[in-house]
């Protein structure tokens, strides 16, 4: 009868220590008596979920119109040359977006490593014919999801019109020339993602 009471007491102590071990990660048993069954079980499960959703959009809308004016020399006795000046437009767009998700790829490494390192248990003076079991389990589940969406929209509308240069109805007329009309557009997009 005495041995049965000791075994029952040891079983209760084992349950209490096992429950406390989950929080403190340390278990100790001492003097549970002969023929007792003693168990210290430490289990740590760490679940880490990381979701990175990056939506980057670049839009470049460029509308350009270059028109040279009208040069007119008419109805003169002596007329000089008629020329129209240059017209020019320049547009440049540079976008360099970068996404770096590498810092969030392992969210629980510090906490999980510390928990696994501090799990320990000890049993002393459990008596002859005792069954003693100490086990420690650490499991880490990490799930990382990276969604990177890059969208580029470039719209370029250009119009270049050279004006009129007219020399007419003159006794003596000079040369007639019209200037250049030009448009320039440059777009550069660079996207990079590090996961």
| Predicted local distance difference test score (pLDDT) of residue 21 | 37
CA of residue 87 relative to chain centroid, distance = 44
Mark 102-117 as b/e (b = at least 16 C-beta within 10 Å): eeeeeebeeebeebbe
| Predicted local distance difference test score (pLDDT) of residue 153 | 85
Please, are residues 18 and 11 in contact by the beta-carbon 8 Å criterion? no
Enumerate residues 6+ apart whose C-beta is below 8 A from 96: 189, 190
Low-confidence ranges of the chain (pLDDT < 50): 1-24, 107-112, 114-117
Q: What is the pTM (predicted TM-score) of this model? A: 0.50
């Amino acid at each position: 009868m005495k041995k049965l009471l000791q075994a029952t007491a040891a079983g209760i102590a084992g349950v209490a220590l096992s429950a406390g071990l989950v929080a403190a990660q340390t278990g100790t048993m001492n003097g549970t008596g002969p023929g007792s069954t003693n168990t210290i079980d430490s289990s740590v499960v760490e679940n880490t979920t990381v979701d990175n959703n990056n939506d980057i959009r670049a839009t470049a809308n460029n509308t350009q119109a270059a028109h040279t004016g009208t040069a007119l020399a008419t109805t003169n006795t002596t007329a000089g040359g008629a020329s129209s000046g240059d017209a020019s437009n320049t547009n440049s767009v540079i976008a360099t977006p970068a996404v770096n998700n590498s810092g969030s790829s392992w969210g629980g490494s510090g906490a999980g490593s510390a928990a696994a390192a501090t799990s320990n248990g000890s049993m002393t003076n459990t008596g002859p014919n005792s069954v003693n079991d100490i086990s420690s389990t650490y499991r880490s589940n990490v799930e990382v999801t990276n969604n990177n969406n890059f969208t580029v929209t470039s719209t370029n509308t250009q119009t270049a019109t050279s004006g009129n240069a007219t020399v007419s109805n003159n006794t003596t007329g000079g040369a007639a020339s019209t200037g250049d009309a030009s448009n320039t557009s440059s777009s550069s997009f660079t996207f990079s993602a590090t996961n």
